[in-house]
Amino acid sequence: MPAKKAARKPSKKPSTRSAKKTANRKTAPLKSATAAAPDYRVAYVDLRTMLDAIEMGSLYYFLNGSTDEERDRRAAQLAALLNPALRQIEEWNTKLGDPKCQSEDCPPGYANCNGCCVPYPCPG
């Protein structure tokens, strides 16, 4: 008579099927730093993520214009949306009183490009 096989222990790992479902699920919104977590790193990562998304989304929108005229129109739309935010941030930094924070005097390694401090020489 053949020996009986030992019963398999249930696996604690999720099945490949459920792992795929989890991977395809949209991620939850980023949580900001709270009073319970005074460490600024969470807030910094949230801000950096948001800024990266604005950069990539803006470039994607601009570059997907089908003609030069469409790209010019999109660039104007983006400038109208982003310039007020840049000016507000510039105003906040000016109030700090640190000359490195003012657009006329960019921090070392940055160039003033039409009122925006950028980490490269201003093109044209």
Question: For position 73, what pLDDT does the model report?
Answer: 98
Q: Which of 30, 28, 60 has its CA nearest to residue 45? A: 30
Question: For position 83, what pLDDT does the model report?
Answer: 92
CA 81 from chain center: how many Å? Answer: 17
Name the least confident of 11-15, 67-71, 94-98, 101-105. Answer: 11-15
Judge if pTM exceeds 0.85.
no
CB 107 within 8 A of CB 117: yes
